[in-house]
Each structure stands twice: as C-alpha cells, then as structure tokens.
Amino acid sequence: MVITRRALVAAGAGVLVAGCGAAEPIPPDAELLGPVLASERALVDAYARVEGRLGRELAARARDHAERLARAGAGPASGPAAPGGDPVDAALALQRRSMRACVGAVGLVREPAGRALVAEVLTAGAQHAAILLARLGRDPLPTAFPDGRTA
Amino acid sequence: MLAAGAVVLLARPAGAAAAQAEDTAGALLELIAREQAADFAYRATGARRFARLAQHAAEHARALRAHLESVGRPAPAPPGARGDLDPAAARVASAGGGAAAIALERELVTVYAGALDRLYDPSSKRTAATIMAGHGQQLVVLHRDPLQALG
C-alpha cells in the first residue's frame, strides 16, 4: 500500500488545525469511561423496574457491564437521573444515553481492552434498545446506525 | 471530523504515521468489502425480510468509504458474483435462511471488534463501533426470541 499525496495533504491540514489550538487534550481513560459506568449503573435500577424476564436479564447485563467498567478503572461520574413514567420508556431513554457515552468514549480510550469493552457495551446497548423498542410496539431497527446518525 | 484522523496521524513520526495510515486503510478496505458482500448476499436471497439488512449494509459501506477516502484511498469494487463473497455472506446468498444470516451478523460483530485496534483516528473508530452495534441490533431482529441474541 502507498500513502498518497492527498492523504499527506489532509494530514498536514490537521496539523495546522492542531497548531491553531483547536484540538483539546484528551482526558485520561478513567475519565472517558466514567460516564459509561454511571449510565450502566443507572440502567441497573431502570431495568429493575421493568417487569418479568426482560427486566431481570437486562438488569443483570447492565450490572455486569458496570462491574467490568469499574474493574477497567472507570472513574466516578455523576449518574443520569432515571426519567419517570413508563419503565420501558424510561429504560430506553437511559439506554440511549449510555450508547451516546459509549460512542464518545470509544474513539478516544487509549487502552485496547478498555476500548473493546466500550464497543461491547455499545453493541449490547443497541441490542437492548432494539428489544425495548419491540416491547413498545415500535420499529426495533429504525436506522443502520444505532447512535442516530444518518450516514 | 474525518480530518481529526489526520491530526493524530501527523502527531507521530512520519514512518509510524505512514504505517498507521496503511493499517487504517487496510482495515477499512476489509470492512467495506464485508459490508458490500453482505449487501449483495441479502439482496441475492430476494427475501423481503432481508431487504432492510441489505440497505443497512449499503449504508455502512458508504459511511466507511468516506473514512477511506479521507486517507486518500479508493473504495474496493463491489462483488459482481457470488464467487466474490466471503464464506459467511456466500452461505446467506445460497441458503437464504435465518440461521445463515445470524451466523453472518455474529461474524460481522467479531470482525468489527477485531478491526477497532487497527483504526487509528477517533472518528473511524466511532463509526466502526457504531456499525458493530448496528450488527448487534440486527441479530436481535433475526432471532425469534430476541433475548437469545444477547451473547
């Protein structure tokens, strides 16, 4: 494979951007993982409010994610407040928040093991969201990109 | 956001940056080929239930191509015949059943998980992780019991 001039020009443009101070320092992994941990902890409680096997299984998975994130060194972060109302709707809202935290972290976490864990939690989150959408009688697969982007 | 990759690449010594760009391009080429093969395979079945999965695969490939172009590489040609497909996609094209589709989607999740470490810039990592999550979501809709999709 050959690096093209176009690639090098694009890279050079990036350095200029960095040189102008546009790039901000990347926080440590613990700080990047913190919001994901906080969201998963909040999901444990949210899924506990969902009745039946669905609530039990998804709560157990959120608990497992939270424990693994803590072991991976995720730092403290303020947890999102669980919305009121229908438990499935509330869990879906929190699940989407967790997914946004994952997307933010996965590009920046330095340690491969931490990055892999975040990608796994994101994938599980997308699966949980699809199951919740189906439970709500909505389209479980509304987009090709679970983070909501259109392309 | 794509230019952010170039920022990171040029922050490294030239040789290391070139190697990382090569690895990123190689990973993107493989992922695009897998998505194009999945698109071809799902369409080849002619099954309505797979039409949306084909559409999503095409959208995934398009998103990945944008990252590949940002490092100055052309996209791979789409498959022209079943013989061009990877084995998992070929099984979908020939068997057409849910089991083959589940196997393909599971394999794609694994492929993306493995590719994350080869993608150097945050933007392409986020795109790959989001698409990985999308394949996880597709596993849910392929299972009669959605909870069985949870690995």
% of chain A with per-residue pLDDT over 70: 83
Q: Does residue A2 carry a pLDDT above 60? A: no
Q: Which domain holds residue B119?
A: 3-149
Express each pLDDT in A76-102 by its tens digit. Answer: 878 777 778 899 999 999 999 999 999
Task: Per residue of chain B (151 residues), give pLDDT as tens.
Answer: 444 444 455 455 677 778 888 899 999 999 999 999 999 999 999 999 999 999 999 999 999 999 999 888 999 999 999 999 999 999 999 988 899 999 999 999 999 999 999 999 999 999 999 999 999 999 999 998 888 888 6
Q: CA separation (Å) from B140 to A28, A139, B89, B98?
A: 34, 12, 18, 12
Q: How many CB pairs under 8 A join A and B?
A: 161
Tell me what the mean pLDDT of segment A29-50 comes to: 95
Portion 54-93 of A in contact with B at CB < 8 A: 54, 57, 61
Residue among B71, B87, B74, B68 nearest B10 (CA): B71
What is chain A's mean pLDDT, rounded? 85
Whether B148 contacts chain A with CB within 8 A: no
pTM of the model: 0.87
CA pair distance A27, A44, nearest whole angstrom: 26
Q: Does residue A148 carry a pLDDT above 80? A: no
Q: Which domains does chain A have, with CATH numbers?
A: 27-135 (1.20.1260.10)
Chain A residue with CA closest to B118: the answer is A112
CA pair distance A55, A30, nearest whole angstrom: 29
How much is the pLDDT for B11? 54
ipTM over 0.95: no
* Residue predicted with more confidence, A8 or B90: B90
Mutation site, B137, B138, B141, interface A, largest A CB count within 10 A: B137
Q: Which of B6, B11, B132 is nearest residue A119 as measured by Cβ atoms?
A: B132
* C-alpha of A66 from chain center: 12
How much is the pLDDT for B13? 61
CATH code, domain with B47: 1.20.1260.10
How much is the pLDDT for B109? 98
How much is the pLDDT for A8? 34
Tell me what the mean pLDDT of segment A38-44 comes to: 95
Residue among B143, B48, B149, B145 nearest A126 (CA): B149
Whether B20 contacts chain A with CB within 8 A: no
> How many structural domains is chain B composed of?
1
A121 band by pLDDT with thresholds 50, 70 and 90: very high
Report DSSP state, residue B77. P
Interchain contact, A7 vs B72, CB within 8 Å: yes
